[in-house]
């Protein structure tokens, strides 16, 4: 109890002497003295609480001191965040577990939403957007409404993009560089890549890699047969086939069409 405090005891003793002087009655009872001491101690306690204890905020039901601490913490967190200046992110996207490596390099702005990045990847890898997808950061799914700058990604780190939960195509997205925006450049744009994208419903990374391996063996065998024949036999007329190839120019044309609002960008 605070009554054990030396200063409080001295004040209570002074109150007792004051009360005795006023009453000029040495026969004051012990009960009256105790009552006066308790009353004065109660007033002291109320006065102390009025000064030391903050009032409860009726709006958010929080102590003002707690609100001030939260506000200061929020200001500190905001001050630690990157500046709001728009940056250009150079991304390298690779489809995992496929040989030979299928990759694209895209340059986008830091304000790009994951929803837009999803469309850029569909265009870059020639997907048809038939299946579900998901972005993941450190294994946790991300909301497509989030922007890249809200993920606080750094060079050398990135996220995953999973397309088609059946075939389960995993794309690793790595930030190669982060530079100030160039007003003379166009965003998004493709600046590199290799190998055509897989066909839809082709069975996933393992099945597609096996298909590519069989195709390479078949081409090698045909080349060997042609070499052994000495080139004397007439070559058969090749049938016109639609061969998938990666074209940086086509990817950029389709990206530009999408950003211009063309809903049929895939046929651009």
137: tokens are 């950061």
Q: What mean pLDDT is predicted for residues 87-104?
A: 95
Task: Answer yes or no: is pLDDT of 81 > 70.
Answer: no
Name the helix (H) or strand (E) containing 202.
none
Separation between Cα atoms, residue 197 and residue 134, nearest integer Å: 18
CB of 137 closer than 8 Å to CB of 161: no
Tens digit of each residue's pLDDT (9 = 90 or more) over 252-264? 999 999 998 876 6
Q: What mean pLDDT is predicted for residues 216-233?
A: 69
Query: How crowded is the C-beta side of 48, counted as CA atoms within 13 Å?
Result: 8
Q: What is the 3-state secondary structure (H, E, C) of 21-49?
A: HHHCCCCCCHHHHHHHHHHHHHHHHHHHH
Place of tokens 């995953």: 160
Domains of the chain: 2-58 (no CATH), 87-206+245-267 (3.10.290.30)
Tens digit of each residue's pLDDT (9 = 90 or more) over 41-70? 777 777 766 655 554 444 444 444 444 434
Look at residue 65 and give its three-state secondary structure: helix
Confidence category of residue 267, pLDDT binned at 50, 70, 90: low
């Amino acid at each position: 109890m605070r009554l054990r405090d030396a200063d409080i005891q001295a004040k209570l003793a002074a109150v007792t002497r004051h009360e005795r002087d006023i009453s000029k009655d040495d026969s004051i009872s012990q009960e009256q003295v105790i009552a006066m001491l308790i009353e004065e101690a109660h007033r002291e306690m109320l006065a102390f609480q009025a000064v030391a204890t903050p009032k409860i905020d009726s709006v958010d039901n929080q102590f003002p001191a707690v609100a001030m601490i939260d506000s200061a913490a929020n200001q500190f967190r905001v001050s630690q965040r990157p500046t709001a200046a728009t940056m250009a992110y150079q991304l390298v996207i690779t489809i995992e577990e496929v040989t030979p490596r299928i990759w694209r390099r895209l340059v986008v702005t830091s304000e790009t939403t994951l929803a837009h990045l999803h469309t850029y990847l569909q265009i870059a890898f020639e997907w048809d957007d038939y299946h579900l997808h998901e972005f993941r950061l450190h294994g946790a799914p991300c909301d497509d409404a989030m922007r890249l700058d809200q993920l606080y990604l750094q060079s050398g780190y990135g996220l995953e993009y999973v397309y088609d939960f059946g075939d389960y195509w995993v794309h690793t997205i790595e930030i190669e560089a982060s530079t100030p925006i160039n007003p003379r450049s166009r965003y998004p744009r493709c600046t590199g890549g290799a190998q055509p994208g897989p066909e839809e419903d082709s069975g996933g990374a393992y099945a597609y890699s096996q298909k590519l391996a069989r195709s390479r063996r078949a081409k090698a065998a045909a080349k060997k047969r042609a070499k052994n024949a000495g080139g004397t036999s007439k070559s058969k007329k090749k049938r016109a086939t639609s061969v998938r190839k990666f074209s940086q120019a086509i990817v950029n044309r389709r990206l530009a069409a999408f950003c211009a609002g063309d809903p049929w960008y895939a046929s651009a």
